[in-house]
Amino acid sequence: MATLLAPAGSLDALTAALEAGADAVYVGLKGFSRGGARGELDWDELSRAAELAAARGAEVQVALNTIPKPRERAELLDQIPRAMALGIRTLIVNDVGILVALARRYSELRLTASIGCGAQSEADVAFFKQIGAAAVVLPGTLGPTEAAACCRVGGISVEIMLHMVEEFVLLGKCWMPSYVHLKPTPMPGEANGARRQTGSMKRGGVGACFKICQQPWLLEDGDGIREEQMFPSRQLSRIAEVAPYLEAGVAALKLQGRSLPAELLGPLVGRYRRAIDAAVTGAPAPEVSAPALPASWTVVGR
Amino acid sequence: MRIVRDQGKRAYLTTYAAPRNDFLPRVRKALEIAATGGAEAVEVHNLGILKIAHDEVPALPAHVGGFANVYTDAGAEVLKGFGATRITPNYELQLEEIDQIARDSGIAMELLVHGKMPLGISDYCFLLEYEDKWGIKCPDLCQKDLFLRKDGWGMKSVGKGVLSGKDVCMLEHLPRLIAGGHRAFRIEAVSESPAYRREVAAVYREALGCALSGEYRQRERWWEAVRKHSRLGLCNGFYFGKSGMDYLGARP
């Protein structure tokens, strides 16, 4: 049975996701998760999140999806036992270096190559299998047929981001914001000198994007201004194709949205819970009214 | 490759940065031809293609491109295990970080020294929306010099890709790159004219010779050439820890 994997940026959101039927919830850990609009949990909150999930027979996964610099990498590796002591067994990572380092040091961990790793093909899936990933997240832009080919690689679980913002630039392949403005700033609440690389989504510490892609641009050539242009961006939902994805062998149906408040996240998770349950029993897919989230979600963050 | 090799030059095969399954047969065919046709190496931006190259044409060296997101020595080490012999680290890295990756991994770094820095890549070409409106069809559309401008800064659009509006220029910093032990330098000219390629390459050929000789003296005609081809100005990318569009040095 496929897992419904929901996001949570706060304990309220985590509670809402669990109550709505999530089998597992992924959260960010402050300092090592892409921040910005996304909520991140501190250690006390992570401990409480693990308790809340365990009480419902659900799992908490931790997204460590920045690329730490060498000094920060050592600090991160040293903190893993603390997470494991809370019962955390699945980490979502964004870099092949950190994935292999974690796999070598903590064989009991289950490591997921995040959507930011950019896997889009069966060859990518095979690569991540070879370096020790237990799972890989594919974007919902891949349909069930492509997902099925990726599942046939075998020996690695394929997860699909079934509900996401599809931005113009591919996830993990953008450094437009830092081209315009890169500014190290102190990370709130951190006394040890940790800094956010504002503008960079991926660099050590916490990357925070300020979404220049969501602003209107003037498109001009040598003759002057031709158009006012915005990069295309849309809310992508594959809820109508839950059954084909399950038939394809996808192990987890994942939702994007660590920035979502509990009052939006709960209904979103519930909608996918019902769709999965219907698909599993062979019942018709429930009627849904689109979109699931306000249009502004594509602008304010995921 | 024959044309290039007949001129005594080295030919390289570059490959897709974000291929889907249906592109893989084409990639495999290209790799096979490159391996048998005498390519020096294959440039790989995608980890799946790196694995294919390593498994199926292991004798062909792999040069990892900037979209592969190598940010650390640990990442470089992993790709070394898949046959990577040269790496363009992610463009966001500073020179000190690049030096360290080279030292710690023992892999040669390839550095962008001039041209428009890749900033993002897409599955989708939004310029296609203008085919009918402008009366220009693909592929002529993205061959136009199209810039996205806002508040005094800009980026260049090539349809599915976004490049820096300014040209990265490391002309006055070449001795620093040489001192860092680097020997592989790239002029990014994917969207540029033959004149740009010819004249900018000539400048850097001469400047590199000069820098390697240990007596580096910049020529005014070098600057005239690079400025002539730079519509929105020059920058240093991220090499000095600044925003990518900033320029640090005596010359703008």
Strands (E), chain A: 3-7, 24-28, 59-64, 90-93, 110-113, 135-139, 157-166, 169-174, 183-186, 195-198, 206-208, 217-221, 224-229, 234-237, 252-255
pLDDT for the residue A216: 86
Mean pLDDT of A286-294: 71
Mean pLDDT, to the nearest integer, of B91-109? 96
Residues of chain A neighbouring B244 (CB-CB closer than 8 A) = 175, 178-180, 182
B49 has pLDDT over 80: yes
Per domain, the residue ranges of chain B are 1-106, 112-175+191-252
CA distance A86 to B122: 39
Mean pLDDT of A180-198: 68
- Under CATH, which number does the domain B1-106 receive? 3.20.20.70
Per the model's pLDDT, the better-predicted residue between A122 and B129 turns out to be A122
Residue A299 has pLDDT above 60, yes or no: no
What percent of chain A is modeled with pLDDT above 90?
A: 60
Give Cα separations from B102 to A51, A59, B97, B107 (angstroms).
44, 40, 9, 5
Residue with tokens 């080295």: B10
B85 φ, ψ (degrees, to nearest 5): -110, -10
Classified by CATH at the fold level, domain A3-172+233-300 comes out as TIM Barrel (3.20.20)
Beta bridge partners, B164, equal B155
Residues B66-102: b if buried by 16+ CB within 10 A, e if exposed: bbbbbbbbbbbbbbbebbbebbbbbbbbebebbbbbb
Over residues A70-98, the pLDDT tens digits come to 877 888 899 999 999 999 999 999 999 99
Q: Is the pLDDT of residue A300 over 50?
A: no
| A127:B50 CB<8 A | yes
> What whole-number distance in Å separates Cα of residue A199 and Cα of residue A182?
5
Q: What is the pLDDT of residue A197?
A: 67
Q: Is residue B171's pLDDT more than 70?
A: yes
pLDDT band at B150 (very low <50, low <70, confident <90, very high): confident
Q: Tell me which chain B residues have a C-beta less than 8 angstroms from the C-beta of A72.
A: none
Sheet holding A195-198, edge to edge: A183-186, A195-198, A206-208
Min Cα separation A148/chain B (Å) = 11
Site from B26, B51, B136 to mutate, A interface, most A CB atoms within 10 angstroms: B51
Length of chain A: 302
Predicted confidence at residue A301, as pLDDT, reads: 47
Lowest-confidence range among A52-61, A106-115, B66-75, B241-250?
Answer: B241-250
What ipTM was reported for this prediction? 0.95
* Residues of B (119-178) whose Cβ lies below 8 Å from A: 119-124, 126, 130, 134, 144-150, 153, 155, 157, 162, 164
Cβ–Cβ under 8 Å, residues A272 and A239 = yes
Chain A residues with CB under 8 Å of B112 CB are none
Residues A23-43: what's their mean pLDDT? 83
Provide, as residue numbers in chain B, all residues whose Cβ is less than 8 Å from the Cβ of A227: 130
Q: Which two tokens stand for residue A254?
A: 């994942």
pLDDT of residue A205: 53
| Residue range A179-206: mean pLDDT, rounded | 68
Burial readout A166-198 (b: 16 or more C-beta within 10 A, e: otherwise): bbbbbbbbbbbbbbbbbeeeebeeeeeebebbb
Asked whether the beta carbons of residue B119 and residue A229 sit closer than 8 angstroms, the reply is no
